[in-house]
Amino acid sequence: MIVAIDGPAGSGKSTVSRLLSARLGAVYLDSGAMYRTLALACMEEKVDTENEDAVLALFKSIDIDQKIVEGGQVVLLNGRDVSEAIRTLEITAAVPPIAAMPRIREQMRVCQRAFGEKAGDGMLVAEGRDMTTIVFADADVKFYLDASPMVRAQRRHNELKQKGVEVGIEELAREIERRDNSDIRREVGALKIAEDSVVIDTTGLGIDQVVDRLYEEVQSRRGR
Ligand code: DC
C-alpha cells in the first residue's frame, strides 16, 4: 500500500510523515532529502547548479540513500552521513534551480520509485511536492497538508531554534514565500493538489492530531 503526502514547506509534512510511517511500520521516503543531497553534492563537487547536463551527470554518478534509525532519519551520500549537512539554509537556497530541471525530476522519479520497491508487499509513506501527482500518482491514499504562511514560518523558526540557529520569523516567512513560488510555478513537478487528495489544513492542529487523522484515514481505506 502506498501513502503519498504532498504540501508546501512548513506544512508539518515531514514530521507527520515520519510519525505516521513509524505507526504503520512503513518504509519512509523523504523525497526532499534526495533533492537536498543532490544540491550538497553539487556544492561539494563545484558543479554549476544552472547546468542541467552537469547536474544530471553528477546525479548519475552518486549514490543517495536514506533510512530510519533509532532517534531519527539518516541520509547518506555515497555512504556518508549527510543528515545534518543537507538541512542548512545554504542548501535550502541551492535546491530550487535543481528541482526545476525536467531531466533531474525524471531521474528522481526513477530513483524514488525504485526506493519505494523496498516496501515490497508492505507499506510505503512518501512525502514531497509531486508524490501524489507524478511519482506515486497511483498511490492508494493521498494527502495534501497545508498551513497558513505565518504558522509555517513559526514552525520553521522553532525547528531552527532547537538546533541553536536563530533566524527572524520575517526572514523565514520571506524564504518560505520564495520556496512556494518556485515550487508552484516551475513547469515540471509543480506543487499542486491531486484531485483525489484528502486536504488537511494543519494551522490550528497539533502534530498528534494530524497524525491521528491520517492514520485513521489510512486504516479506513485498508479495510475497504
Ligand atoms: O521538503 P524539503 O523542504 O526538504 O524540500 C527541499 C526542496 O526540494 C524544496 O525546494 C522543494 C524540493 N522538492 C521538490 O521539488 N520535489 C519533491 N518531491 C520534494 C522536494
pLDDT of residue 160: 86
Cross-strand partners of 124: 2, 27
Q: How far is the CA of 129 from the centre of ligand 1 (A)?
A: 6
- For the chain (224 residues), the mean pLDDT of every run of 10, in chain order, is 95 94 96 98 97 98 94 93 94 94 98 96 96 98 94 90 89 90 91 96 94 97 78
- Which set of grid coordinates corresponds to residue 112? 524514488
pLDDT of residue 70: 83
| For the chain, domain boundaries | 2-206
Q: Which of 18, 95, 135, 182 to mutate to test the pocket of ligand 1 (most atoms within 8 A of CB)?
A: 95
* pTM recorded for the entire structure: 0.94
Considering the domain delimited by 2-206, tell me its CATH architecture. Answer: 3-Layer(aba) Sandwich (3.40)
Residue spans of alpha helices (H) in the chain: 13-24, 31-44, 52-61, 89-99, 102-116, 149-162, 169-185, 207-222
In whole angstroms, give the CA distance from residue 181 to residue 68: 30
Q: How far is the CA of 68 from the centre of ligand 1 (A)?
A: 19
Q: How far is the CA of 223 from the centre of ligand 1 (A)?
A: 32
- The SS3 assignment for 191 reads coil
pLDDT of residue 224: 67
pLDDT of residue 102: 97
pLDDT of residue 71: 75
Q: 168 with 40: CB under 8 angstroms? A: no
Order the strands of the 64-69 sheet from edge to edge: 64-69, 72-77, 80-81
In whole angstroms, give the CA distance from residue 163 to residue 156: 11
| Atom in ligand 1 nearest the alpha carbon of residue 13 | 1
- CB-based pocket (< 6 A), ligand 1: 9, 31-32, 35-36, 95-96, 99, 128-130, 179, 183, 189
Q: Give the residue whose CA is nearest to atom 15 of ligand 1.
A: 99
Q: Which of 129, 130, 160, 180 to mutate to test the pocket of ligand 1 (most atoms within 8 A of CB)?
A: 129
Neighbours of 197 (CB within 10 A): 20
